[in-house]
Structure 1
C-alpha cells in the first residue's frame, strides 16, 4: 500500500491499533474496533478508517474473516514434524489446483501462494514444484479448471441472440461464483486458454449472423466481454470492501445516509432526489448486481439487434 501525506489520520489510527496489539489490550483472536466505531471515535471518514485497518492488515497484525470481521492475528505456534501421510503421498496437480481455487474463493486471489497451499495440503512447499512451476502456472490452471468444469452447451442454441446470452450469462455466473476470475481475464491480452477461446469463437459465430462490418464485429466481440468484466470488477470491489470492513452494502449505506441525504437535498441533484423507492441499498452492492448485469446485457443486445 502506498502511503501519502494525505493519509496522516489513517496512519495515526494505525499506530494506535499497533500499540493496543503490542501491549496486549487487543489479544490474538480478538476483534479490533470496527470502521464504524473508528469513524465515531476519531471523527474521520469511513475511507480513512478503512485505510487504517488495511495498513495493519498489510503488516500482518490483523486478518479479516468473512462473518467475523477483522481480528488480531494469532501468533502461530511451531508444530512437531509430521510423518508423511496420505495427503503428502497422494499430492497431485489437480489437488493443488483445487486447493488454490478453494483459497481464492474464500479469501481472494491475493491469498493464494505456493507456501499457503503447502499448509493447506500439509506438504513441504518445495513438493508443490514437482507438479506446478509456480504461481503463474497455478493461476492459469485454476482458470482452465473453472471454465473446463462449466463448458458451453452442446449443441449450441439457435439464433445469434440466444447464443450470445448463453456465453455471457455463463461468464457472469462464473464471475459471481469465483470473483477472483476477473483478475485473470484481461480483455485486451487474454490468456490462451482453449476453454475461454471457445467463448470468443461462439461470439464471433453469433455476430456473423448480423449485418456488421468486420470492424464492427470485432468491436462487439471485445465490448461484450468488457461489459461483463466491468460489472464483475465492481462485484470484486464490493466483495473486498465487505471482507475488509465487515460491512455489507446496505450497512454502509445506512452509515452514510445522513451525509448522502444532505447532499441530495441541496437541490444540485434533482434526478438523484427523484429516484424514490429505488434506494441504493436495494439496487447497489452484491444484492443488486445480477439485475444490473441483466439490464446492461439486454440493452447491448437490443442495440445490436437494431443494427442487424
Structure 2
C-alpha cells in the first residue's frame, strides 16, 4: 500500500508552487531574491528518490543536497507534501511522447502505455505514491493532453474517454508496482527468481502434493519453465496490455455502432 500520496498539501500553496504564481509585492517592498528555483529543488529531490526511494526524501535531506539550511528550504517549498507534488509534476513534464501520428488508436495507446512504463522504470519510487488526487500542475496537464490524444477520434464519449485512459494507465501502474516488488525480492535475497526456486526446489517437492493439486502443478510448471520463475514482468505486461486493448476495442466498436 502506498505510504505517500499526492495532493496532501495545501491546495493553494501547491498550485502556486507548480504554476509559478507568486504573491504580488507590496509597493516599496522587495523580498529577498530566491537563490534556488523550483526546478533545482525538484531535481535534487528526484535524484534522492531515484537512488534511495521516496522515503529517503525529507526537507532536511534535500536542503543538505542543495547546500541550504532546512529553514531556508521552507521559503521555497511549504513542506514535504508540496515537495512531493513538485517532484511528480516535474517527472510528468518529462514523460516520453512517442505516440505515432499515424497507425491508429491501438498503436497510439500502446505508445502511451510504453511511455508510462519507461517513466516508472526511470523513477521506480513513483509506484509507491498514491495519485488519486494528482498534482494539477503544468506537467500533469501536458501529459494528460498528450495521452488523451491516443484515444481521441475513436468515437468514445468524453467520460468514457477519460475512463479508458485511466484504465490503461492503471494497468501500467499495477505492472510497475509488481515489477518493483520483484526487483526488491531479488535484491533482498541476492538471487534471481530462477535461482531462488532452484534453491528451494527440494523443500517444495517434499511438501507439495502434485496429485492433490493437478492443475496447479501442470500450469505452474509450464509457467515456471517458460518464465524461469513464478513471474515475468515483461510477459505480464505484454499479455495484459494486449487484453486491455482488446477490451477497449470492444467498447470503441460498441460506441461506433450505437
TM-score, normalising length: structure 1: 0.59
2:53 to 108, 124, 143: 108
- Report the equivalent of 2:92: 147
Secondary structure at the aligned position of 2:75 is classed as coil
Q: Residue by residue, what CA displacement relative to the aligned partner does 1:164-200 show, whole Å, maximum 9, x if unpaired?
A: 11111100111112111123353x4333233333444
Contact 2:109 2:150 in 1 (8 A): yes
Which of 228, 251, 257 aligns to 1:282? It is 228
Describe the superposition over 1:21-67 as per-residue Cα deviations: whole angstroms up to 9, x where unpaired.
xxxxxxxxxxxxxxxxxxxxxxxxxxxxxxxxxxxxxxxxxxxxxxx
8 Å contact 2:147–2:165 — kept in the other structure? yes
Contact 2:93–2:142 under 8 Å retained in 1: no
Matches within 5 A, 1:53-132: 91-132=36-77
Q: After alignment, is 226-235 or 118-127 more displaced?
A: 118-127
Structure 1 vs Structure 2 CA RMSD: 3.2
Q: Would you say the 8 A contact 2:59–2:80 is kept in 1? A: yes
Is the partner of 2:44 in helix, strand or coil?
helix
C-alpha distance in structure 1 between counterparts of 2:117 and 2:86, whole Å: 20
Larger deviation: 216-225 or 172-181? 216-225
* RCO comparison, higher one (Cα < 8 Å, 6+): 2
Report deviation, 1:203.
Answer: 4.5
Kindly indicate whether the alpha-carbon contact (under 8 Å) linking 1:164 and 1:202 is maintained by their aligned counterparts in 2.
no
Equivalent position to 2:138, from 183, 186, 194? 194
Deviations 1:186-239 (A, max 9, x none): 3x4333233333444444444354455666444323211111111111123234
**C-alpha distance 263-199 of structure 1, shift in aligned 2 (>3 A):** farther
CA distance 1:244–1:298, change in 2 (3 Å): same
Q: CA deviation at 1:306?
A: 3.9
> Is 1:269 equivalent to 2:192 in the alignment?
no
Which residues of structure 1 form unaligned runs of 5+? 1-88
2:55 alignment partner, SS class: helix
Deviations 1:253-291 (A, max 9, x none): 344433444455432332332244532762555xx3133
Which digits, 9 at most, give the CA deviation of each residue in 1:96-123, with x for residues without a partner? 3222112111211111111122333443
Structure 1 residue 297, shift from structure 2 partner: 0.7
The residue number in structure 2 matching 1:219 is 163
On the 8 A contact 1:104/1:110 being kept in 2, the answer is yes
| CA distance in 2: counterparts of 1:213 and 1:149, whole angstroms | 28
User: Hey, what does 1:170 align to over in structure 2?
Assistant: 115
Q: Number of residue pairs matched?
A: 217
Counterpart CA distance in 2 for 1:206 and 1:191 is: 22
